[in-house]
Structure 1
Amino acid sequence: MRRVSIYDTTLRDGTQAEDISLTTEDKLRIALKLDELGVAYIEGGWPGSNPTDKRFFQEIQNYSFKNAAIAAFGSTHAHRGTAATDPNLKALVESGAPVVTIFGKSWDIHVTEALGTTLPRNLELVGDSLAFLRPHVKELFFDAEHFFDGFTANPDYALAVLKKAHEAGADVLVLCDTNGGTLPGDFRRMVEAVTTALPGVAFGVHAHNDSGVAVANSIEAVVLGACQVQGTINGYGERCGNANLCSIIPSLTLKCGIACLPEGKLPLITPTAHFVSEMVNQAPPSNQPYVGDAAFAHKGGIHVSAVVKNPRTYEHITPETVGNARRVLLSDLSGQSNILYKAREFGFDLDKNDPFVLELLSTIKEREAMGYEYSAAEASYELLLNRVLGRARSYFTVTRYRVLDDNVYDRAEPITEATVMIKVGGRIKHTAAAGMGPVNALDKAIRKALRGFYPRLAEMRLLDFKVRVLSGLKRDDCEPGGCGTASHVRVLVECGDAAKRWVTVGVSHNVIEASFQAMEDAINYKLFSDDKAKLTKALKG
């Protein structure tokens, strides 16, 4: 099987995204995860540009890597100086990285206007910089910046830059679509021109996604003979991002029969994608190919019915091959197949003719018409399933609650107080609590009332809270243009403990009531899942 090298630049190019910033410690953790995945190269940053990257290359010396080589990134030397005296080239050597990648200009307009020098002088910069670095590193790569734009404007000069880099000792010539504007047809034509002009020379690809085709162009380059693919996890990067390795690696492996990772590592691609998204503090896109939560999610009843019989009917690969999992969603598009599939997930083997199935399906469709969203709140669905089956215990009943906000002139924030009356096992608990806003105050008051009965609620934490206006839900008393601030809202609450995370939902025109519903479900689910875990352990014992 043919093999190509994956060159990950998440720690350098990925951090150029406007909303991503990583500390040295963050970069070290991500590097270890990338090595576990099995990429061939990890570009750690530009040691001559900032203290964070300089420290990264110092600290990385204390770690051993099984699969990846660490690469340092920089540029050709300043056109008014020499390679031997250039501080950036010196920093690359002092980084101790076994691999160095430098970029140089291959578009004539960048040479004359951005650098402010001549075309012959730029060729000297490329040749002298690479020749200076060659004795100091095991592998040396040259990124031909703006190659495709440069080739379009002046093909002879763009090719001359590549030839100079090859003569100076670059192991791989990387063709960069820096502006991300090259479409696949033109991309293919220009890569073929390179392979004709420089037969047998090792080349790679570095594509940006400004035209939405970075993944397609990268795969095309490999098909045409590229030995190295550069990109980032989840496609992070400047402007519209870089080529997404989470799409490239599975596509090359599973569709093209080209190995990218060590044997057995492909199932790590999904957990790696999610890990990196957590490290950069961004929610992973659910519709991302291969690794997204929705990549193998099925909502329509016809789809689910077919997938149950043969997953190939609506899945182009088996989700487990990339470390993902099949999901069946519940909504007003659901059919009996969805209900049966989800029931089996929660341990109930139901018959399609069971009246319960029709009852649950009817209940779900009615509640989704009201704005409830069970595809995103599976904990609320599991509770609903068990309640309709009569298998969910009633842990508590909130008979009344009140939330008060009090503010006076010049006070920075209002004071919020919540009062609740809760019935537990025939006893009424009447408690109050102050909090940072109505949801926090209500949550604290409920827990205060319940903690004597259910001390394990202390383990539970609120992790995420989302509110969405449901503009599509109309009421008779709304204005013709919509309900405005009187619209229904959907609240999704994500909670967790040491063992798991779960999402619950609430809907109302009153945001506090919707929040209360979601929090009530979240607390009930915590108690319910703990009881279920105890029962499972007892049965195994």
Structure 2
Amino acid sequence: MTKNSSPQIWLYDTTLRDGTQREGLSVSIEDKLRIAHRLDQLGIPFIEGGWPGANPKDVQFFWQLQEDPLKQAQIVAFCSTRRPNTCAADEPMLQAILTAGSRWVAIFGKSWDLHVTASLKTTLEENLAMIRDTIEFFRSQGRGVIYDAEHWFDGYKHNRDYALQTLKAAMTAGAEWLVLCDTNGGTLPHEVSEIVKDVVKETGEWGQGDKGSQHCAGVSLVEVTSVTRREEENSRFSSQSPITNHPLPITQIGIHTHNDSDMAVANAIAAVMAGARMVQGTINGYGERCGNANLCSLIPNLQLKLGLSCIAEHQLGQLAEASRFVSEVVNLAPDEHAPFVGRSAFAHKGGIHVSAVERNPLTYEHIQPEQVGNRRRIVISEQSGISNVLAKARTFGIELDKQTPEAKQILQRLKELESEGYQFEAAEASFALLMYEALGGRQQFFEIKGFQVHCDLVEGKETTNALATVKVAVNGRNILEAAEGNGPVAALDAALRKALVNFYPQLATFELTDYKVRILDGHTGTAAKTRVLVESGNGYQRWTTVGVSPNILAASYQAVVEGLEYGLLLHAQAEAAVR
């Protein structure tokens, strides 16, 4: 299905507000701007930018977006209803929202009578007035309003009649969207489905009846009941906005779920199937406590499985990259096992699985990885069969026949090394070098003659000074070099680069991007065998190599050396391809 022919689901991303409430996640203004523009490219219609006035960072973020606006998405300012026993037009908090300049405002209000009396310490009737007054105020200022019904499902289950009254107050005041929030994340999909169906039915009936009355905002917009009038108002917002491209009915239902019961995605899908047309969530499911509904799972499920239109097909193909981009910007390790977008989402390790996938990917893949911008990976390990070796070889441009001695030799060598503690599923660059060596095609860029490392621990200093000396041979010439570092591995890496950079200037672009150490047999204490994984990069590619030894420096040295060697191999192959 194409985007224009499929039923429309409106995506609302709250990574920059709700997502940043995740413990351990912190972003700068520049980070927020980069993420907002990346979500804009992904085709997200609504992007919640934060609460202007709540902190200086969010104020500056909205101001800077006015200087560098998004191309298609609507940025949304977030705030609460006015305080009890005040007037919305006189609230400084709401004036700050207007100053932010967003065409859409998301307002959250209380749905649960317990929160009204215990948290707000006001009456149920005053809470309804707060909802009506705040929405009418923003509508009078030409803003589109998305009403987030906080704690909706808990409120509905405790007092259905009052919870519905809060929605009716928002609807009759002019809210374009009524978003049902599972704020505590404790609702199950069957409950979500039943409750959303009830809300859709009730709001449909309200739409045929009384449209409310004026409140102290000064100008009532409740007479705006026709789609034509709404379209006229929306045209003042932006000719490129998603609203004018796809005119909305007077009021639509949305869903906002949290993952405390590991049900956020399932609950959001249940709501959509029951009639919700807006889905709120975050990239990678970031959010407070256990997180929010993960848009990286919701989008492909809605679009590929249910045939609902969320974003364009070419934008869906950017989903995995967008997921990794956001994780990099917020400085959190990507979830390699995340559905759809994780590095392991389409990774095959068992020999039987690999053989079947090679014949027909449908045997072990529920969608084509490329549809979400991911790729199939064949994992190499001691559990591998000859099918794994052949498939992995093809990813490196090597064609092998399973009957050849070389293929069997590679498989045998793989199993031997894995039994010694090597892990090639996480170090594919080292496996590539192993294959080239077995085939007699491993290019020797340099030869290691030896190394020494000397460390000085200076009392009162947090860092250890290290001096490494390396001896290498390049094109028959012996090179002896030394370099310092803040640790033995850094010193070894620096000495190697210093010895080789005159012969291979491209080494200047290489960098060590990650370093992991694993003790393999801890019961032997300090004599334990150590596995070291080193991730290297050249600015546009990354690769991982492995070293194993009872000596942690020897294991590190092996991994670092192979990382440099593989990087030089990539460079040589790239040069050969353009000749």
Same fold (TM over 0.5): yes
Distance in 2, Cα, partners of 1:210 & 1:357: 48
- Matching residue of 2:17: 12
Which of 554, 568, 571 lines up with 1:513 in the alignment? 554
Cα distance per residue 1:142-173 (max 9 Å; x no partner):
00001111112221211111111111111110
Distance in 2, Cα, partners of 1:82 & 1:233: 36
Cα distance per residue 1:165-198 (max 9 Å; x no partner):
1111111100000111111122222222222332
- Matching residue of 2:208: none
AA partner of residue 109 (structure 1): L
AA partner of residue 188 (structure 1): S
Distance in 2, Cα, partners of 1:139 & 1:49: 21
Unaligned runs of 5+ in 2: 1-5, 206-250
**CA 1:149–1:446 in structure 2 vs 1: closer, same or farther (change >3 Å)?**
same
How far off its partner does 1:408 sit? 4.1
Cα distance per residue 1:26-82 (max 9 Å; x no partner):
111111111111111011111020111111111111234333111110000111422
Which structure exhibits the higher relative contact order, with contacts defined as CA atoms closer than 8 Å and separated by 6 or more residues? 2
Distance in 1, Cα, partners of 2:61 & 2:480: 55
Give the TM-score, by structure 2 length. 0.89
- Matching residue of 2:109: 104
Whether the aligned pair in 2 keeps the contact of 1:181 and 1:211 (CA below 8 Å) is yes
How far off its partner does 1:428 sit? 2.5
**CA 1:165–1:484 in structure 2 vs 1: closer, same or farther (change >3 Å)?**
farther
- Matching residue of 2:534: 493
Whether the aligned pair in 2 keeps the contact of 1:246 and 1:269 (CA below 8 Å) is yes
- Matching residue of 1:478: none
How far off its partner does 1:429 sit? 2.3
Q: Map 1:9-408; keep pairs closer than 5 Å.
A: 9-199=14-204, 201-408=251-458
Whether the aligned pair in 1 keeps the contact of 2:190 and 2:270 (CA below 8 Å) is no
Which of 511, 526, 531 lines up with 2:567 in the alignment? 526
Distance in 2, Cα, partners of 1:459 & 1:501: 12
Distance in 2, Cα, partners of 1:97 & 1:411: 51
How far off its partner does 1:331 sit? 0.3
Distance in 2, Cα, partners of 1:86 & 1:341: 65
**CA 1:91–1:336 in structure 2 vs 1: closer, same or farther (change >3 Å)?**
same
AA partner of residue 504 (structure 1): T
Whether the aligned pair in 1 keeps the contact of 2:355 and 2:388 (CA below 8 Å) is yes
Please provide the CA RMSD for this pair: 1.5
Distance in 1, Cα, partners of 2:262 & 2:540: 39
AA partner of residue 309 (structure 2): A
Distance in 2, Cα, partners of 1:451 & 1:390: 26
SS of 2:342's partner is coil
Cα distance per residue 1:457-478 (max 9 Å; x no partner):
122111111222224xx7xxxx
SS of 1:114's partner is helix
Distance in 2, Cα, partners of 1:408 & 1:280: 35
AA partner of residue 264 (structure 1): H
How far off its partner does 1:358 sit? 0.7
Unaligned runs of 5+ in 1: 475-481
- Matching residue of 1:483: 524
Distance in 1, Cα, partners of 2:539 & 2:13: 32
Distance in 1, Cα, partners of 2:26 & 2:142: 29
How far off its partner does 1:489 sit? 2.5
Distance in 1, Cα, partners of 2:540 & 2:122: 61
**CA 1:485–1:196 in structure 2 vs 1: closer, same or farther (change >3 Å)?**
farther
How far off its partner does 1:305 sit? 0.2
How far off its partner does 1:290 sit? 0.7
Distance in 2, Cα, partners of 1:510 & 1:291: 37
Q: Which moved more, 1:402-411 or 1:256-265?
A: 402-411
| Percent sequence identity over aligned pairs | 51
**CA 1:507–1:242 in structure 2 vs 1: closer, same or farther (change >3 Å)?**
same
Whether the aligned pair in 1 keeps the contact of 2:196 and 2:276 (CA below 8 Å) is no
